[in-house]
Amino acid sequence: MKRRRSAFTELVGAGHRDETLARTVGPPVQKGSTVLLDRAADLYDESRPTYGRGGLATQQTLAHALGQLESAEHVRLFPSGLAAMTAAMTAVLRAGDEVLVTDAIYKPTRRFSERVLRRFGVEVRYHPARLEPEALIGLATPRTKLIVMESPGSLSLEMQDVPAIAHLARSRGILTLIDNTWAAGLLFKPLEHGVDLSAQSLTKYVGGHSDVFMGSVATRDPGLGKALDETVWDFGWSVSPDDAYLMLRGLRTLPARIARCGESGLQVAASLAGHPRVAEVLHPALPGSPDHALWKRDFAGTAGLFSFLLEPCPPEAVDRFLDSLELFGLGFSWGGFESLALACDPQLGVRLHEPPRRGPLVRLNIGLEDPADLIDDLARGLGTIEG
């Protein structure tokens, strides 16, 4: 008689079901490090997943959806938006190369360039955020391998003529990478304008609820897709299926949320533009902005993130203003459903081409609240700053 297997053994193998799953609206959250292969011959067949680190059903579904959003052939996921940017740079740069970076780049991307790229023998040079495309290409040397753009730029929201820069770069054999987080892959499609690599922090608008980190890099070029793949494997990056599920859930409502936040943001921006304590509103979608024509030509809409300059006042007055706000959280990040405010001046010191600014810079993330309430809150808060 066959001996009954012990509970130890039974329980290790218990509960596996092979039936196909009931179809739900969202993808299954497939958790797995080990992937079970059918036959020994499959163990080293690299044409299919043999290990979970690179992502299984949930991550693949998200990557596929992002590919549709960005009209990209290849999308890779990373544990954060910063990791997406550093991965894209690492995938294409090598010792002896030079990279040209906009001065308005997200500060941690700059820190990576300073601390890591330099250490590995890559020369990093910064240029003014609004430098004309011809002048930017004029900075290139035979060693220039990559141009890194961010448009609108972090905190100060300067726009770049991305199609022109991409076109000129390509004609010189220089690759282009953009941090497209403000547009969330939705309002602006860099790959359709000749950019080689489009990165974004999904943590912002795609996640949309300020509770999960992830980043993506999209490309149409198979060679760059392969270089990104290799970078993912070489560095050992992995994203969790639970987080990928949340990102995919956020993606469903992205257009509705960003449209509402963008529209409210424009109303708030217009109210600030007329305020006596406000020197200037920095918002490319606001008519009268120096970048308005570029935004109108290239973008299908606006996000709800913008900044403004106060009339000159001491830092304590800026803090008093921020502390008095009732509807704006004080905090980093943006793209969530809730409004946030941030004093920017402590972050601007690293910039090399920062134009003299009239007064302190404040950034607002406009969320889903009623814009009339936000406008009242800001007007009351500005009243705490003496004229």
Ligand X SMILES: *Cc1c(COP(=O)(O)O)cnc(C)c1O
DSSP state of 40: G
> Does 201 participate in binding ligand X (rule CB under 6 A)?
yes
Q: Give the range of 26-34, 75-83, 123-131, 281-289 binding ligand X by CB under 6 A.
A: 75-83
Taking the complex as a whole, how short is the minimal distance between the CB of residue 190 and ligand X, in angstroms? Answer: 13
**Residue 53 known to be catalytic:** yes
Say which of 103, 161, 179, 196 is annotated catalytic.
179
Residue of 325, 77, 72, 365 whose CA lies nearest to 204 = 365
> Does 151 participate in binding ligand X (rule CB under 6 A)?
no
Out of 198, 203, 289, 339, the residue judged to bind ligand X by CB under 6 A = 203
**Residue 38 known to be catalytic:** no
Taking the complex as a whole, how short is the minimal distance between the CB of residue 31 and ligand X, in angstroms? Answer: 22
Residue of 76, 87, 57, 86 whose CA lies nearest to 218 = 76
> Does 215 participate in binding ligand X (rule CB under 6 A)?
yes
Nearer to ligand X, 97 or 150 (CB): 150
Neighbours of 246 (CB within 10 A): 23
Instruction: Name the amino acid, one letter, at 330.
Output: L
Nearer to ligand X, 344 or 375 (CB): 344
Structure tokens at 168: 């000129």
Out of 126, 188, 213, 237, the residue judged to bind ligand X by CB under 6 A = 213
Structure tokens at 271: 């109210």
Residue of 69, 26, 366 whose CA lies nearest to 202 = 69
Per rule CB under 6 A, count of chain residues that contact ligand X:
14
| List of residues 6+ apart from 312 with CB closer than 8 A | 279, 358, 359, 360
Nearer to ligand X, 28 or 329 (CB): 329
Neighbours of 14 (CB within 10 A): 8
Structure tokens at 115: 């601390």
| Cα(220)–Cα(197) distance, integer angstroms | 8
Binding mask 262-301 for ligand X (x = CB under 6 A): ----------------------------------------
Q: Give the range of 61-69, 78-86, 267-275, 376-384 binding ligand X by CB under 6 A.
A: 78-86
> Does 82 participate in binding ligand X (rule CB under 6 A)?
yes
Say which of 76, 103, 106, 291 is annotated catalytic.
106
Residue of 272, 298, 238, 276 whose CA lies nearest to 374 = 272
Taking the complex as a whole, how short is the minimal distance between the CB of residue 98 and ligand X, in angstroms? Answer: 22
| Cα(84)–Cα(200) distance, integer angstroms | 7
| List of residues 6+ apart from 186 with CB closer than 8 A | 69, 205, 254, 255, 258, 300, 301
> Does 112 participate in binding ligand X (rule CB under 6 A)?
no
| Cα(123)–Cα(94) distance, integer angstroms | 10
> Does 179 participate in binding ligand X (rule CB under 6 A)?
yes
> Does 237 participate in binding ligand X (rule CB under 6 A)?
no
| List of residues 6+ apart from 210 with CB closer than 8 A | 333, 335, 336, 337, 338
Neighbours of 158 (CB within 10 A): 24
**Residue 106 known to be catalytic:** yes
> Does 154 participate in binding ligand X (rule CB under 6 A)?
yes
Residue with the closest Cβ to ligand X? 81
> Does 106 participate in binding ligand X (rule CB under 6 A)?
yes
Structure tokens at 285: 């979608």
Nearer to ligand X, 78 or 328 (CB): 78
Say which of 110, 130, 189, 204 is annotated catalytic.
204
Nearer to ligand X, 191 or 305 (CB): 305
Taking the complex as a whole, how short is the minimal distance between the CB of residue 248 and ligand X, in angstroms? Answer: 16
Out of 59, 181, 216, 339, the residue judged to bind ligand X by CB under 6 A = 181
Out of 27, 54, 55, 81, the residue judged to bind ligand X by CB under 6 A = 81
| Cα(385)–Cα(323) distance, integer angstroms | 12
| 91 neighbors 231 (Cβ within 8 angstroms) | yes
Taking the complex as a whole, how short is the minimal distance between the CB of residue 167 and ligand X, in angstroms? Answer: 23
Annotated active-site positions, please?
53, 106, 179, 204
Q: Can you give the binding site for ligand X, defined by CB under 6 A?
A: 80-82, 106, 150, 154, 179, 181, 201, 203-204, 213, 215, 333
